[in-house]
Structure 1
Amino acid sequence: MQAEVLSQQAHRAQRVAEPPRGFTMAILLAAVAASSGITVIYTVLVTLYKAFPGSNSVSWTVTAYWLGSAVFAAVSGRLGDLLGYRRILLAVMSVAAAGAVVAACATDVGILVAGCVMQSIAAGITPLSIGLVRENLPPARVPAAVGLISAAGMVSAGLIYICAGVVVDHYSWQGGFWFKVALCVVAVAAVRVWAPPSPPNPGVRIDYIRGLAFAPALCAILFAVQEIRVWGLGDVRLWALIVGGMIVLGLWARHQLRARHPLINVRLLKMREVVLANACMAFLAAGAMQLGQVFSLLAQQPAGTHAGFGLSATAAGLLMFSINIVALVASPWSGRVAARYKARPAAMIGMLILALAWTSLIVLHRSLLLFVPGAVLCSFGLAFTSTALYNQIVETTPAHQTGEATGMLYVFFSCFFAVGAQAVFSLLRSATAGHSGASFPADSGYVSVFVYIACSSIAGLLIASLLPKRRTH
């Protein structure tokens, strides 16, 4: 066993010394495929309501995607650690492409939702890509590479929003999913050609059945959170799902702690650095990560409500792309800061920028000319912070647990993103303004959201300050 481990280390050292040509391009194309997952669904959502009139299940395309992503991110990362990052990455992107084909060929909502569940496996691309980067690049280059992955995801999301919109407008809603198939196929080809195979971890036997018990429990809790606004806080079904899910999660965690080779190594959560990084991600996801839905709504809301700019969908898409493009600067810069000073100061800088930017929007959101710089600063801080948190996990955990640890980080992101979305929706609906027979959030609703996100950023800043000042691994 020791000889096999030494052989793997020698093999990795040889690859790190000579990074393969085209490797960075393959990783970036994988990041583009990952960002296309939910972006394409968001793009075609309005058209789907028209294509399936009278159906109340269309919204499940988004709900099912987020439920699936919370599960697949952790499982894919762990399988990458055990069986090789390249092998699992190719499998994940292939299943995501197959899911897009199913959705494009769907004749009813049920098949469409099933296709979206398959596409949600794309959530595993990011942890697998980070594991592949750490496996093939020198340690000094890893933080910057993580920054590039984060930047590629944010910028390509803006481009995909525009491109998929053009395809949908000039072809059909199915065209959006075929566009995603093309992106996944290109990414699979690039990874197959330019990414070297990863050596599997030998001699590890996993109890997959009991290890996957967290999946239905997590889905039950997230589903309950999604249905809060429909059922209400006093509904028995809501608390039955939440309490039942928590009980199952507790039993599952106890089993995984006792298992010699757990599917999800919850022992990582005993590490103070990992817990703090996930706590930072929780506040980021529940707060600043809500940027997309808040800014898109504010941009397109009729100006007659005295709380919007009245932009068209195309203009709003271009605005969101312009806001997201600053990630090309923010993410690599965050990576360089982490490489030189560690991830802790990078996370603190990002959270501080977010707190200041969202606080400024309390006043600046009333003018488009002033709103845009504030929104750009919000996007800059978001990219800077998310890159720093992934680098914090890379700094803290051993190389053979990279996929698992970053996948767990994504699970925290998915869970608290759902919680934050409900909080933002409730705040926006706390005050409404009518226009042409429709109801929109009032100005005070947006102010409440900006205050809420600024406070969550301050909380994240305080937690980031508790991160260790020295590398633990």
Structure 2
Amino acid sequence: MHADALPQSSSRQPLVEGPRRWFLLALLISAVSASAGITVIYTMLVTLYRVFPGSASVGWTVTAYWLGAAVFAAICGRLGDLLGYRRVLLMVLAIATVGGIVSACAPNLAVLIAGCVMQSIASGITPLSMGLVRENLPARDIPSAVGLVTAAGMVSAGLIYICAGIVIDRYSWQGGFWLKVVLCVMTIAAVRLCVPKSSARPGTQIDFVRGLAFAPALCAILFAVQQIHTWGLRDPRTAGLLIGGAVILWFWARHQRSVADPLINIRLLAKRQVILANACMMCIAVGAMQLGQVFSLFLQQPAWTRAGFGLTATGAGLLMFTFNVTAMLASPWSGRVAARHAARPAALIGMSMLVVAWACLIPLHRSVVLFVPGAMLCSFGLAFAQTAVYNLIIEATPAQQTGEATGLLYVFFSCFFAVGAQAVFTLLQGASVSNGGASFPAAQSYVVVFGYVAGSALLGLFIAYALPKRRGPEHRPNVIEGAGLSGPARMQ
């Protein structure tokens, strides 16, 4: 996030050196808890396929998480403004803790998915942490603190792949959820001890009921996508859910545009570059951002399926950590390209990398020696493209609206990530292999997924090419140079 997107510190006195360090430590621990939310679920996907053999609903552990994340991301920041960031952050962590316990003790898949929905409230940790940064630090320290917190999220996501893998391999899949519970409890203690109390600030009156109407509409669309394989595209139930969801979304967008204080400010989409940047993010969310669950599943899938390499959860976690570290190198490079030439060329480079990398996995996925470099390029291109999209938003948005614009981008990302997650799982169910009751995607299903992601990136490349060209130094100050990836851009 660019420094101009952040308002000046509040009227309260900034923290002095000693308490400031403990305050930042608490926020770093919070970033770890936020990263653990979905990362642990990715790590245990193969195990869940074994525990619930033949179930077509395992994919909803991911889809439900990201659907909940889209909803909670839209309201947590607003509630923080009204009730105080610290108070809402503690509430978020408490609910995420209960969600981890529910999933760990779940007697069936439905209860496990319900627990994942509760855990998805962890998506609100990032905006609340940014609010605490603005509230407690002097203006000159805000950009560096934002970069520190977001970088911690990226690194911790890779570390959690390893830790969750060790716990799952040596204990049980429930141990992954207990790991999340422990992290949330530690974070609650750190926030209570090291973060100053936030004063409640009465804000504008927001119609949360109608503002959240996009949630049931998106549920209808996601369910239709999941059932396409069973019902078929011509089934009236499929068409009814898709059309009904789209109509509700249209009325919701119309309502959000008409009210003075919308929950999600659709009016920010008036500029061509903002619209196209959000479209690029949609292409990334439905495709390349599915890297976490696709690669984690593929790396751990038993070798007898002739798809995957049969790694343990720990081994897969080590490789996923390597991919995350690779992604950290891409963000500064993308920022430098945007600073020198504007964000459009950076977006074109990032999207081109994604097209090439995912297309190359189609012939290279049979050899781990060839697959790993290809996967690293996928991760690198993803981070490069996402940083470019953030810079596209910042280029086209006035400083006083950058926070709203990037928040809207997060909501779009979360919604379309949920759509993409369900689409990928539907494609993976297209062909399967079974043995002893355990069922896994066949090799041809992975080929279809790799082609699907390459196609979505190609669409994003065409959209990026349609972006308006910007030249001259007047557009260069408002870009991120290697600030890292925040919220949805974080590799998980």
TM above 0.5, yes or no, is: yes
Residue in 2 that maps onto 1:11: 10
Offset of 1:411 from its aligned partner?
A: 2.8
Q: Secondary structure at the match of 1:326?
A: helix
Q: Is the 8 A contact 1:67 1:222 kept in 2?
A: no
Corresponding residue for residue 281 of structure 1: 281
* Contact 2:326–2:379 under 8 Å retained in 1: yes
Q: Secondary structure at the match of 2:103?
A: helix
The TM-score with structure 2 as length reference comes to 0.78
Could you tell me the percent identity over the aligned residues?
66
Paired residue for 1:187?
Answer: 187
Tell which deviates more after alignment, 9-18 or 73-82: 9-18
What CA deviation, in whole Å up to 9, does each residue of 1:424-457 have, x standing for no partner? Answer: 4565566778889988666665454434433332
Question: Is the Cα–Cα contact under 8 Å of residues 347 and 384 in structure 1 kept in the other structure?
Answer: yes
Q: Distance in 2 between matches of 1:307 and 1:30?
A: 37
CA distance in 2, matches of 1:155, 1:215: 31
Please identify, of 127-136 and 251-260, the stretch whose mean Cα deviation from structure 2 is larger. 127-136
Q: How does 1:251-400 map to 2 (within 5 A)?
A: 251-301=251-301, 308-334=308-334, 343-393=343-393, 396-397=396-397
What does 1:4-403 align with in structure 2 at a 5 Å threshold?
Answer: 9=8, 11=10, 15=14, 20-22=20-22, 24-45=24-45, 47=47, 60-80=60-80, 83-107=83-107, 109-130=109-130, 132=132, 136=137, 142=143, 149=149, 151-192=151-192, 202-301=202-301, 308-334=308-334, 343-393=343-393, 396-397=396-397
Question: Contact 2:162–2:318 at 8 Å: present in 1 too?
Answer: yes
CA distances 1:255-283 after superposition (whole Å, capped 9, x unpaired): 22221212222212223333222111111
TM-aligned CA distance change 1:368 to 1:212, over 3 Å: closer
Residues 23/406 of structure 1: CA separation in 2 closer, same or farther (3 Å cut): farther
CA distance in 1, matches of 2:112, 2:437: 32
Q: How many residue pairs are counted as aligned between the two chains?
A: 465
- The alpha carbon displacement at 1:404 in A equals 4.8
- Alpha-carbon offset, residue 180 of structure 1: 0.6
Question: In structure 2, what residue type is equivalent to 1:316?
Answer: A
Q: Structure 1 CA distance, aligned partners of 2:431 and 2:361?
A: 18
CA positional deviation for 1:101: 2.6
| Alpha-carbon separation, structure 1, partners of 2:319 and 2:204 | 49
Q: Is the 8 A contact 1:78 1:403 kept in 2?
A: no
Offset from partner CA, 1:83-102 (integer Å, 9 cap, x none): 55444334322321222233
Normalising by structure 1, we get a TM-score of 0.80
User: For residues 125 and 406 of structure 1, do their structure 2 counterparts lie closer, same or farther at Cα, with a shift above 3 Å needed?
Assistant: farther
- Structure 2, gaps ≥5 residues long: 1-6, 479-492
Cα distance, 1:430–1:49 mapped onto 2, change above 3 Å: closer
Counterpart code for 2:112: L
Q: Secondary structure at the match of 1:38?
A: helix
CA drift of 1:205 comes to 1.5
Counterpart AA for 2:115: G
Bigger shift: residues 22-31 or 367-376: 22-31
Q: Judge conservation of contact 2:42–2:292 (CA < 8 Å) in 1.
A: no
Contact 1:214 1:252 in 2 (8 A): yes
- Shift in CA distance, 112/372, structure 1 to aligned 2, threshold 3 Å: closer
Kindly provide the amino acid, as one letter, of the partner of residue 71 in structure 1.
V
Note if contact 1:76-1:88 (Cα within 8 Å) is conserved in structure 2.
Answer: yes
> Does the CA-based 8 Å contact 1:75-1:264 persist in structure 2?
no
Worse-superposed segment, 20-29 or 240-249: 20-29
Closer/same/farther in 2, CA of residues 327 and 57 from structure 1, 3 Å limit: closer
SS of 1:261's equivalent?
Answer: coil
Runs (5+) with no aligned partner, structure 1: 1-7
Mapped to 2, the partners of 1:348 and 1:60 lie a distance apart of 32
Counterparts of 2:411 and 2:198, CA distance in 1: 24
CA RMSD, 1 decimal = 4.1
What SS is found at the alignment partner of 1:264?
A: coil
Per the alignment, residue 454 of structure 1 pairs with 454
Q: After the TM superposition, which of the residue ranges 215-224 and 151-160 deviates more from structure 2?
A: 151-160
